[in-house]
Amino acid sequence: MNVKKFTAATSRDALRKVREALGPDAVILSNRPVDGVVEILALDNDDVAALASPAIEEPQAPSFQAFDNDFDPEPVFARAPAAFAPGAAREPEPRQAASRAAAPRLDPFAGQPYVERRAAPAIEPEIPPTYVNRRAPAQEATIDMAAMSQMMSAAIAQAKESAALEMSGMMNEIRAMRGLMETQLAELSWNATQQREPQKAAVLREMLAAGFSATLARYLIDKMPATKDAAEALRWIKTVLARNLTTIANEDDLLNRGGVFALVGPTGVGKTTTTAKLAARCVMRHGPDKLALITTDAYRIGGHEQLRIYGKILGVMVHSVKDEADLRIALKELKNKHTVLIDTIGMSQRDQMVTEQVAMLSESGADVKRLLCLNATSTNETLNEVVRAYQGSGLAGCIMTKLDEAASIGNVLDVVIRQKLNLHYISNGQRVPEDLHLADRAMLIDRAFRNNRNASAQFGDADLPLMMAAAAVGQNADRSLREVHLG
């Protein structure tokens, strides 16, 4: 038994020495610290196997008591049997038995027939296991790097998501605090402005009563030059609004140029009646042969019949289409017409079919100019939604309808100014074609402020700071106000 001693500074180093000297199957006898080092006594696994298994006795060679007839001195057990001798022809067993029976062998000492005793096959001694031929140790469990990488990626992604959620919550809190501070500061600022410049408060009431948004009103009041007269300040406001309201100078360019025009807008805004009014103007200018009418309103019961009646009165053929393919065919057949007017289906600005309608008109194969009909009785928020829904790749212009039913028109003028729309016509009744007029900027601005005698009663001094505080937040985010020309 060969016990070996290994010393090292740490147990890890001592075990490494044992593995290098005796292999991974070495037997550790003791492990203890001695004089600041670690001492390990180990024994080779071969020695342990030798101690555990009993000694194997070598088989004794049997003493030969019989010889062949030729007296071969070689022991029987030392010779290989003739049947297995290298190079010897193997004789079939029946012939061997016959030859042996024919020539019996005699015992040389007793003179008696000798019965051959075959020697037992030699037992090979069991070779003790060594480190070289010992069974290889079981492989250590390997780490699945792909699974480990996946787990790490999942952990990192979860950590990022948690951090993003925390950051988002923190940013929302910061924005809320910022909005609160801006609101309070705006209230304080407006209170000071109201006391120092009361004419601005008077102009603000006039604009709010006319229907203009608080955001546009605050922007113009902040840019208004210093003056002590409220009337002079209101004149400056009207001048700026009229300068930023885009209209067509005359309809000669529109009617003489011709083309394909499609009237779009929500349900009940007056598209069919306005189409009939424009058709009457075109017939009066160029005759019925130069005009064609197309309707896509096959959804409503009798929707296209109203336009057919107008077409019959004007002597103009009305074509009905259902989809984009029909529209392409109709426009290709009517390409020789001077003017083509398309009456579209009315639908809510929140309907998903609005996008399909805009795409159908844009991809019809012709240059279709879309004119948006804006209801003057709608609120500012509703009109903004309508413009955003029907905007598409761009509107050629807009037509203000139901002017006779609106109590104030500042809301629609506010949207036209901020959305940079070109106002073509205004419609103020159901008569065809009398109740359709070119847009006059000065007249529209003057009418917006004409019926505001009770402006001071609608908005008190306590309401203005809150409205201006809310408008200050919207003013910072509204990019359209940066394009308002002050002159």
User: Domain locations in the chain?
Assistant: 3-52, 249-438
Dump pLDDT digits (tens) for 273-304: 898 899 998 988 888 888 999 888 766 655 66
How many CA atoms lie within 13 Å of 98's alpha carbon, on the beta-carbon side? Answer: 5
* pLDDT greater than 50 at residue 371: yes
In order, the DSSP letters of 139-187 are PPPPP-HHHHHHHHHHHHHHHHHHHHHHHHHHHHHHHHHHHHHHHHHHH
Dump pLDDT digits (tens) for 229-268: 778 888 888 899 988 898 888 877 778 888 889 999 898 8
| E-strand stretches of 265-304 | 291-295
Sign of CA dihedral 10, 14, 20, 26: negative
**pLDDT number for residue 353:** 83
- Longest CA pairwise span in the chain (Å): 164
Structure tokens at 420: 């940079």
**pLDDT number for residue 27:** 82
Cβ-based burial of 354 (10 A; exposed 0-12, middle 13-18, buried ≥19): buried
Q: Which residue would you say has higher pLDDT here, 463 or 309?
A: 309
Could you tell me what percent of the chain has a pLDDT over 70? 68
Q: 156-160, 178-182, 219-223, 249-253: which has the highest mean pLDDT?
A: 156-160
Tokens 């308002």 sit on residue: 484
* pLDDT greater than 80 at residue 485: no
* pLDDT greater than 60 at residue 92: no
Q: What is the mean pLDDT of the chain?
A: 76
Q: In degrees rounded to 5, what are phi and psi of residue 59?
A: -70, 135
Smallest CA-to-CA distance from 317 within 279, 265, 350 is with: 279
Q: Which residue would you say has higher pLDDT here, 358 or 122?
A: 358
Q: How far apart are CA 204 and CA 210, in angstroms?
A: 10
Q: 123-127, 190-194, 196-200: which has the highest mean pLDDT?
A: 196-200
**pLDDT number for residue 462:** 57
Question: What's the whole-number mean pLDDT along residues 429-448?
Answer: 88
Q: Which residue would you say has higher pLDDT here, 410 or 480?
A: 410
Model confidence band, residue 375 (pLDDT cutoffs 50, 70, 90): very high
Model confidence band, residue 323 (pLDDT cutoffs 50, 70, 90): confident
CB of 236 closer than 8 Å to CB of 223 = no
Q: How far apart are CA 337 and CA 339, in angstroms?
A: 6
Lowest mean pLDDT segment, chosen from 298-312, 330-344, 393-407: 298-312
Q: Helices (H) and strands (E) in the chain — how many of each?
A: 17, 14
Question: What's the whole-number mean pLDDT along residues 82-99?
Answer: 45
**pLDDT number for residue 114:** 47
Tokens 């469990």 sit on residue: 141
Model confidence band, residue 61 (pLDDT cutoffs 50, 70, 90): very low
Tokens 């001071």 sit on residue: 456
User: Strand 3-8 and strand 37-43: pairing?
Assistant: antiparallel
Cα separations in angstroms, 98 against 70, 228, 332: 20, 152, 118
* pLDDT greater than 90 at residue 486: no
**pLDDT number for residue 399:** 92
Cβ-based burial of 215 (10 A; exposed 0-12, middle 13-18, buried ≥19): buried
Structure tokens at 350: 């929140």
**pLDDT number for residue 35:** 83
Q: How far apart are CA 477 and CA 484, in angstroms?
A: 15
Amino acid, res. 31: N
Sign of CA dihedral 260, 261, 264, 270: negative
In order, the DSSP letters of 355-410 are HHHHHHHHTSSS-EEEEEEEETTS-HHHHHHHHHHH-TT--SEEEEE-GGG-S--H
Tokens 């336009």 sit on residue: 307
* pLDDT greater than 90 at residue 224: no
* pLDDT greater than 90 at residue 400: yes
Question: What's the whole-number mean pLDDT along residues 79-90?
Answer: 43
Those residues whose C-beta lies under 8 Å from the C-beta of residue 170, and which sit 6 or more positions away, are none
Fold of 249-438: Rossmann fold (3.40.50)
Note if the bond before 433 is cis, omega within 30 degrees.
yes
Model confidence band, residue 474 (pLDDT cutoffs 50, 70, 90): low
